[in-house]
């Protein structure tokens, strides 16, 4: 149902207000004009952590291509990087903030969490007592907002995608949006995003090796 709803919304929105077209144009512009060829996928929710690995597969196998639609060798693609907010703020974000200017962060924000917890009695250390008035959802929100602000101050591009909550409708809509974005990026890159000849070649050689081992 969520995929159907987002599809209807995208198809009925004016071109100059269509967030899918705007997102694809933004990503492609960074790629062509500034060589931003790495895409960080960073959801701020434990429920969406595994979605990062799904996105890596989708983005890599769809957009990493040797030839364009005219059969010309182009060796194009955008390298996906899985990340996890707020955990990776203490590791990979160092690279994202101060490393090469070749990365775009796609950040997934969740507005409401079904289960939230008070931090009132969570910390015994005096330095952390200031967190006592807040709940875990508010802390996650602060981490998310802090990261976006830091991206801005360091001139690091990001695309923030917000869903209201992690349920079937919203996650289904998010998946449809990301799949549509990938297909549209294939159009911008002038490649076929629906095949994976590089993967098939590896499978072919693997079966040839097995045949040889079986006959030995």
Query: Which residues belong to the active site?
Result: 61, 90, 203
Neighbours of 210 (CB within 10 A): 10
> Are 132 and 120 contacting, i.e. CB atoms less than 8 angstroms apart?
yes
Q: Which residues sit opposite 43 in a β-bridge?
A: 108
Counting other chains too, the contacts that 88-94 makes at CB distance below 8 Å and 24 or more residues apart are: 88/42, 89/143, 89/147, 92/40, 93/147, 93/150
Instruction: Dig out the tokens for 23 from the structure.
Output: 């997102």
Q: What's the CA gap between 42 and 52, in Å, rounded? A: 7
DSSP string, 67-93: E-TTS-EEEE--EEEE--TTGGGGTHH
Instruction: Dig out the tokens for 80 from the structure.
Output: 């996906």
Q: What's the CA gap between 185 and 202, in Å, rounded? A: 25
């Amino acid at each position: 149902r969520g995929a159907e709803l987002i599809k209807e919304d995208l198809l009925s929105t004016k071109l100059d207000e269509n967030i899918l077209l705007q997102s694809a144009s933004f990503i492609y512009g960074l790629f062509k004009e500034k060589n931003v060829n790495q895409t960080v996928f960073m959801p701020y929710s434990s429920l969406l952590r595994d979605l990062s690995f799904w996105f890596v597969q989708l983005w890599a196998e769809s957009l990493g291509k040797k030839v364009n639609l005219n059969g010309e060798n182009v060796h194009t693609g955008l390298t996906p990087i899985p990340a996890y907010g707020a955990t990776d703020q203490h590791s990979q974000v160092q690279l994202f903030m101060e490393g090469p200017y070749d990365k775009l962060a796609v950040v997934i924000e969740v507005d409401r969490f079904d289960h939230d917890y008070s931090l009132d009695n969570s910390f015994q250390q005096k330095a952390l007592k200031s967190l006592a008035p807040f709940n875990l959802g508010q802390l996650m929100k602060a981490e998310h907002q802090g990261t976006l602000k830091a991206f801005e101050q360091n001139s690091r591009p990001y695309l923030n995608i917000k869903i209201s909550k992690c349920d079937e409708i919203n996650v289904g809509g998010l998946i449809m949006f990301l799949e549509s974005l990938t297909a549209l990026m294939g159009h911008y890159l002038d490649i076929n995003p629906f095949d994976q000849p590089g993967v098939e070649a590896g499978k072919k050689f693997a079966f040839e090796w097995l045949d040889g081992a079986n006959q030995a």
